[in-house]
Amino acid sequence: MIKHHPKFELIQSFVNGELPASLAAGIAMHAEMCPKCQHQIAQLTEQIAEVSFEEDFESGLIAETLDIDQMIADITKSDEVFEPIANVEKVAIFNNETYTLPKALHSMTLGKIANIGKLSRSRIQLNENEIHTSLLQIQPGGGVPEHTHKGFELTLLLEGSFHDEHGEYVKGDFIMLDSSDQHHPISTEGCLCYTVANDALRFTQGINKLLNPIGAFIY
């Protein structure tokens, strides 16, 4: 059962179209798996549409431009039948494991897969400067050494599960962290995550501090 969701302010920014593509895609994918957030997004979208319509009507924009008869004529003037585009699944393969990707990723380009131990990462090519977006696979028994974050980090679980000091995370969980958070995620059965970060992670324990130069590689 999904326990971790985007904060209301983040969902509101998503509905208003104010988020970068990476974060917007993360919320869209979470909503695809979470009826609760899907309903909240639908309600907010409807409210914003109503307010926008009322403002335009009161300002006279709709009254001046709305011609119902012309709209109907434009819609019905063509006999051409449009066939809906077939929904073609998109998959990603990590270490012989095939994953069906959410709809929000279908139009995105995945980079070459890189591997470090039981971690495999493919960058998603969104060209958002300091924001890096990736698919990250943790193989069974693998994990990321204890670390904190120089900026923010979003992790959305697409398949499988992992746990850290704060509990267990399952498919659909939306985990937003910042520099005040420190954790050591481990996946017993393996998992695939969608990750977004605007800076490298920073390892914090013992010899793992030597891994800090590759913090930017993982995320």
**HEC secondary structure over 117-154:** CCEEEEEECCCECCEEEEEEEECCCEECCCEEECCCEE
Write down the pLDDT at residue 83: 60
The DSSP secondary-structure symbol of 42 reads H
pLDDT at 86 over 80: no
Contact yes or no for 6/176 (Cβ under 8 A)? yes
Higher pLDDT, 54 or 119: 119
Query: Measured between alpha carbons, how far is 138 from 57 in angstroms, rounded to an integer?
Result: 53
Average pLDDT over residues 126-153: 89
Q: Is it true that domain 91-218 has CATH number 2.60.120.10?
A: yes
In 3D, which of 13, 159, 93 has the Cα closest to residue 21?
13
Per-residue model confidence (pLDDT) at position 166: 87
Lowest mean pLDDT among 10-24, 81-95, 102-116: 81-95
pLDDT average, residue stretch 127-145: 93
Confidence of residue 205 (pLDDT cuts 50, 70, 90): low
- Interior CA angle at 95 toward 93 and 98, to 5°? 30
Residue 40 has pLDDT above 50, yes or no: yes
At position 2, the amino acid (one-letter code) is: I
pLDDT of residue 209 exceeding 50? no
Residue 175's pLDDT is what?
95
Query: What's the whole-number mean pLDDT along residues 24-30?
Result: 98
Tokens of 188: 């017993």
